[in-house]
Amino acid sequence: MNSNNMLQEPTSVRGAGDIGGTNARFALWREARLESVEVLACADYPRPEDAVREYLHRVGQPLSAVENVCLACAGPVGDGDFRFTNNHWVIDRAAFRAELGLSHLLLVNDFSTMAWAASRLAGEELVQVREGTALEGRAKLIIGPGTGLGVGSLMPLPGGGWEVLPCEGGHVDLPVTGERDFAIWQLLREKYGHVSAERVLSGSGLENLYRLSCQVDGIEPLALSAAQIGERALAGDEYCDAVLEHFFLWLARVAGNAVMTVGALGGVYITGGIVPRFLERFQRSGFAEAFCTRGKTSGPYLSQVPVWVMTAKHPGLFGAGVALEQALLAEA
């Protein structure tokens, strides 16, 4: 590919997409900002190419207007074609580019775009939940309990850029620090065998934590979803509130362990569908203290690491735009 053809003027339009199992979000990326965000149902379109055409039609852009596109895809992204796990779409890279007339198509893992977003989000799109000092030139950690538990890191590059390092940090062993942790961990092991962090720190994990807490306490559990557990906690249900607090404390332990593993003294960014939804309650939780209440070495190491919650409306789309911007700059 001729890199000269990929260079764009600062005002040029690029395309960003964030595609999950149910919905595809698309936007235009112009001057480092998102424009014209639209959400389309994946089930309504036979192919992703059809959804892109419909999106451009809705926002009044001809197919020729967008030559460079980044799509955040739910699942592991390799060098070949991408088959979505939870919908019928397949992206054949060569065919997709040819049909839509693209000069450049970048596919990235959907959680990686959260890391790209963290490299650029403005102050009003972040809420600091733990004070500290982010060290220049050190890695940043991104962690997000949602459908699963996403974990990734941002590594600084010479010249001011960033490299995203995706990983499978949601599947590390769940840390156990007390008798109640151990009682719940034993029940999780009986059910699943290996007890990963994601068995608690996710939507289904919060449901696990509620049901097994009830079992430990000899209480008959209600058939509650993760959203309902959180809503009942906010409405004054003391038991659901205690479960949500336990969730936040476990998140503190897992996040702190990850910081020590990658040396992420540049700070922690929390995203995903759970913590931002219950942000006010999270701010009142014991997360900040539990994050660094550890041994004589690990506690001081973590004591000055700041933590933010990402509150941007479309962080996946924003991160896709940033990822494309940096990729085009690197290849210029």
21 is in an annotated binding site: yes
How many CB atoms within 10 Å of residue 282? 22
144 is in an annotated binding site: no
CA dist 239 to 7, 290, 322, Å? Answer: 57, 20, 42
Q: Is 35 helix (H, G, I), strand (E, B) or coil?
A: strand
319 is in an annotated binding site: no
18 is in an annotated binding site: yes
Return d(Cα 27, Cα 13) in angstroms, integer.
Answer: 10
Q: Is 130 helix (H, G, I), strand (E, B) or coil?
A: strand
Return d(Cα 190, Cα 130) in angstroms, integer.
Answer: 35
Closest CA to 268 of 88, 110, 105, 139: 139
Sequence-distant (6+) residues with CB within 8 A of 138 are 156, 263, 264, 265, 266
Please report, in range form, the residues annotated as the binding site for ATP.
17-22
Annotated binding site: 17-22
